[in-house]
Amino acid sequence: MSVKSGADVVAVRSNKKRRLDSQLIIGSKFLVSPRDRREKWSFPLGLRGLNNLGSTCFMNAVLQALVHAPPLRNFWLSGQHNRDLCPRRTMGLLCLPCDLDVIFAAMFSGDRTPYSPAHLLHSWWQHSTNLATYEQQDSHEFFISLLDRIHENEGKSKCLYQDHEECQCITHKAFSGLLRSDVTCTTCGSTSTTYDPFIDISLTLDSANGFSPADCRKNRYNGGPSVNATMPTLSGCLDFFTRSEKLGPDQKLNCQSCGEKRESSKQMSIRRLPLLLCLHVKRFEHSLTRKTSRKIDSYLQYPFRLNMSPYLSSSIIGKRFGNRMFAFDGEGEYDSSSSSPPSAEFEIFAVVTHSGMLESGHYVTYLRLKGLWYKCDDSWINEVEEEVVRGCECYMLFYAQEKVIQKAHKELSYQVISMAEAFPFANC
């Protein structure tokens, strides 16, 4: 280290990914030159790399998204599940919420050295013995499995809805929504309606006219538009999910009005939106007849701000009846042409991506914190531009209700760290 004009100029090896070129030091703290935001160390509190423990990028990617989900962050950091007071831990039993309590405390401790979530991995293996291997796993399957284990470990009922009462565990308070399924007789028009809870929505990605991320990057490089009308879009996927489809002859409805089985159509819609909306893009196809599997690497356009009003049951049914006023499930009269359902505006806060082949891919998470994007690639954290995120192969999209994001912005603080904390390997 050398001192010039009262300021310390630190040179760090160029082969270190988290490097800091020509930063100004004042005492034991440092200020970051505004000329390059990518190399600043005033990152939001909670940004910390996670060590890869052997093909565990699938786990690290999901953990980064969950750690920065405002309702979950507030739940664990406020001590609502305290590992020191947990009865399961005092009895020597495994408890995934306790393991997550350790991770949240470590991530928000201010320590910037990569953290190893080995204990959580071991506990998850004990709960999911069929997945206890160092082989690459599916991030979406891990996400579902982890939330299920949290739900079970909190001692709640495995049934989400009993007598219309919802489970109050943190998993379902944050991610649980309600789907409506309408099966309509094509002969008499009578409709049978059922409701099912969900914690995520899986969307079909049509690759017929799709472009790969490489095509999109090449198009931008050649000066062409970065988007194309034929590219798959998130709104198109949601339209496909909520469209009416004719059921096959083996799925005939036992129509009570007709008194016999009739051909029918089915339409899905969202009765209630969750605080956190997880949209899973189905990129992996498995054919049982052909006994083959493949990955769809088409580019998908998705907005950072998402309006879910068109996909709510009130909107879907309103279109079916020509936007006329009608009674909607006991919720009174609703005129879809004059008002919008509340809490339908969402903002994105995390994107889990998958790159590479089906058998040998890699998961990375992009986090959006106070309008800036950060790439979480296992142990490495760095700031990236918005275009990088838009050009990735998104696999899981995490949105939060706008009011949740606005509240999180007020709570999120930035931490100025010392050189020793920023560069623990400076003497290597």
Catalytic annotation, residues:
57, 362
Distance CA 342, CA 320 (A): 21
Rounded to 10 deg, the angle between the 96-107 and 139-153 helix axes is: 110
Q: Are 361 and 353 spatial neighbours (Cβ–Cβ below 8 Å)?
A: no
Q: At what angle do helices 118-127 and 96-107 cross, to 10 degrees?
A: 160
Check residue 323 and give left, alpha or beta (phi > 0: left; psi -120 to 50: alpha).
Answer: left
CA dist 230 and 218 (Å) reads: 16
Distance CA 353, CA 364 (A): 5
Q: Nearest CA to 399 among 363, 345, 353?
A: 345
- Taking CA atoms, 297 is separated from 292, 294, 313, 362, in Å, by 16, 9, 31, 13
Q: In this structure, are strands 276-282 and 201-204 parallel, antiparallel, or unpaired? A: parallel
H-helix or E-strand containing 9?
strand 7-9
DSSP notation for 24-80: EEETTEEE--TT-GGG---PBTT---B--SSS-HHHHHHHHHHHT-HHHHHHHHTTS
Q: What single-letter amino acid sits at 187?
A: T
123 Cβ neighbours under 8 A, 6+ residues apart: 94, 95, 96, 99
Contact assessment for residue 298 and residue 236, using Cβ atoms and an 8 Å cutoff = no
- DSSP output for 349-397: EEEEEEEE-SSSEEEEEEEEETTEEEEEETTEEEEE-HHHHHTS-EEEE
- How far apart are the C-alpha atoms of 132 and 127, rounded to whole Å? 9
